[in-house]
């Protein structure tokens, strides 16, 4: 697969253990104003609104998708955007996005732009509730990646038209927040592509 490498399992486990020491999420109100913090799993058990982010990397008319590791606490094995997680206390959304791209995929990039935000709530079959103020960032990327097997099952480039066709046929294969964010992301990418053509 183009661009694909694998982290050594021990390396991935060490990174996950480090993350587990800082598994606090930032609780916010409906205006994304900080009101406190809470242990991540407890926040999902109680359905508390917290700050999150979703990163979409694109190349021409394709988006880099991640299949979540099957052992994830929710949505294991589902396809989603390039990277998603939660900022730590004292960490900006942008800083957190850059950090998680490197931790999950070994990608070092600063070419990210926030293009939208939204609040969504979804209760999963295991009883956990995602109630998130989700910041969506996008950026062009043409490099390689190194999958962390503790976080990621697989990664692939998918053309947007093929992605939309598959979502229509198999919506259960994708995470709920991904499908909420995707329309505006595609509009953003298409505008970037058109601007590139106009400048030629």
Q: What is the enclosing helix (H) or strand (E) of 39?
A: strand 34-39
In sequence order, which ranges of 58-175 are alpha helices (DSSP H)? 93-105, 160-169
Q: Which two tokens stand for residue 142?
A: 């043409």
Q: Is the dihedral of CA 57, 166, 61, 147 positive or negative?
A: positive
Instruction: List the catalytic residue out of 84, 130, 147, 151.
Output: 84
To the query of whether residue 125 is one of the catalytic residues in this protein, the response is no
Catalytic residue (one of 132, 147, 150, 151): 132
The yes-or-no answer on residue 147 being catalytic is no
Say how far apart CA 2 and CA 100 lie, in whole Å: 21
Return d(Cα 60, Cα 160) in angstroms, integer. 10
Q: Which residues are catalytic?
A: 84, 132
């Amino acid at each position: 697969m183009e661009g694909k490498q694998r982290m050594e399992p021990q390396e991935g486990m060490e990174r996950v253990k480090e993350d587990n020491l800082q598994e606090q999420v930032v609780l916010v109100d409906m205006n994304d104003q900080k009101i406190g913090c809470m242990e991540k799993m407890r926040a999902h058990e109680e359905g508390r609104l917290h700050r999150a982010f979703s990163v979409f990397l694109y190349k021409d008319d394709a988006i880099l998708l991640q299949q979540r590791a099957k052992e994830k606490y929710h949505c294991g094995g589902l396809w989603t955007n390039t990277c998603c997680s939660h900022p730590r206390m004292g960490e900006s959304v942008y800083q957190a996005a850059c950090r998680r791209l490197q931790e999950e995929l070994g990608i070092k990039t600063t070419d990210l732009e926030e293009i939208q935000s939204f609040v969504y709530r979804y209760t999963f079959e295991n009883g956990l509730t995602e109630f998130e103020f989700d910041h969506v960032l996008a950026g062009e990327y043409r490099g390689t990646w190194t999958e962390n097997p503790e976080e990621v099952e697989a990664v692939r480039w998918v053309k947007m038209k093929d992605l939309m066709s598959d979502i229509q046929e198999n919506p259960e294969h994708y995470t709920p927040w991904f499908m909420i964010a995707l329309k505006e992301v595609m509009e953003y990418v298409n505008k970037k592509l058109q601007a590139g053509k106009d400048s030629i």
